[in-house]
Amino acid sequence: MNNKIKKVRDYLFKNKLSRNSRYNFPLSDAKFYQQFLIKAQSRIINNGQIILGSGVNEFERNFSLWLKNNLDKKQILGVASGTDALELALRGLKICPGDLVAIPSHTAYATAASILRIGAKPIFVDINNINFTICPESLNETLIKNPNIKAVITVHLYGGSCEIDKICKICSNFSIPFIEDCAQACGTKYLNRSVGTFGDFSTFSFYPTKNLAALGDGGALLINKSDSNIMDFRSLRTYGWNSDREAIRFGVNSRLDELQAILLSEKLKDLDIRINQRRKLAELYHKLLFPLIGNSDLLSLPKSQENETHSYHLYVIRVNHKKRDLARKFCLKRNIPVSIHYPKAIHQNSFFSGHKTSLPNTERIVKEILSLPLSPYMKYSDVYKVVETLLKIL
């Protein structure tokens, strides 16, 4: 291992990229979008539309085109957050209090929170060992064991895709609808098709760190289920009102601001470039870290599934659990903003204490994962700096 570390270190120094490089890791892109903000602001001031105006309608169309959503272009709804989008999707599937919904336990807590908001109950499924998304075999077993499960939420994690063809097949075998949680997968493809276009519903988040980021909260719901009427969801997002402002069904308040929608439409124009930049930075991490792997179980790098095109929302490595927390602290002390997504599986949160599920892959992986800084605004020299710092501790 020492020889390998030396080789990478020599390489870093030979390229002189790590030495004296300034690094400040801009992980959010807020300051790069001032010009668009000014434009959006003046449009809003001129036409007086602040919430759910023409900017939202335009964004819904633009996002649909960007996804190359080959379904009806009007089936996208801008909402207030990714969590809201999940809740509306569950309501669209008529999930009721007490119903069971299967999800991977290795995901953002929001996936479970949307189920709890309805009063339904999450049933946790294990993940695979390749890209840590829901394990099809584990899902199949869970559905056999729990014949009352009413829906599945599958999560495309870190910018990788789950094995969506297998999930489609399993859900169809059990006649169970499924929702794709694409909050971390804007720009991810499976078999060259955008994720989010496979499930009965799919959901996106525009939280400020996401691949397509708003300057606040925002989200979208994509409605693929053929018997769903977009007007029902427009009503659901606004108190259950009809066009005469009469409440004709249950509804919530989940509206997208004009400011966010106009900004998001502008950002869509060069989103592909920024996602490609994420891929290039991930490639560089891979190239620099690969020589360190050897046969040891100290470190492993993100792996792609066959058929997926990763969008690298996050670059998550695995570090032996004996060293992971040490490596994290060491990096943070040196201003390298590493993170853990997520330190606990959902079923391990105290809110679920008493939950008896045993999910071996999930429980092992949460002790090993470490997210390295990645944003399209980072420089290559930032990546060298991260690797150089890791070398000192690994």
Q: Which residues bind ligand PLP (CB under 6 A)?
A: 81-83, 107-108, 110-111, 155, 181, 183-184, 205, 207, 217, 219
**Nearest CA-CA partner of 83 in 74, 91, 93:** 91
**Nearest CA-CA partner of 182 in 164, 157, 214, 165:** 157
375 contacts 282 by C-beta, under 8 angstroms? no
**Token pair 């960007």: residue:** 66
DSSP 346: G
**Nearest CA-CA partner of 41 in 220, 257, 255:** 257
CB of 313 to ligand PLP, least distance (A): 8
Question: How far apart (Å, rounded) are the C-alpha atoms in residues 48 and 50?
Answer: 6
The CB density around residue 386, as the number of other CB atoms within 10 Å, is 27
Question: How far apart (Å, rounded) are the C-alpha atoms in residues 251 and 91?
Answer: 10
CB of 204 to ligand PLP, least distance (A): 8
CB of 218 to ligand PLP, least distance (A): 7
**Nearest CA-CA partner of 108 in 354, 353, 325, 343:** 343
CB of 30 to ligand PLP, least distance (A): 16
CB of 182 to ligand PLP, least distance (A): 8
Q: Which residue is nearest to ligand PLP (CB)?
A: 82
CB of 381 to ligand PLP, least distance (A): 28
Nearer residue to ligand PLP within complex by CB, 108 or 212: 108
Q: Is 51 helix (H, G, I), strand (E, B) or coil?
A: strand
CB of 212 to ligand PLP, least distance (A): 11
Question: How far apart (Å, rounded) are the C-alpha atoms in residues 357 and 60?
Answer: 39
Nearer residue to ligand PLP within complex by CB, 187 or 219: 219
CA triplet 12, 29, 368: central angle to 5 degrees?
55
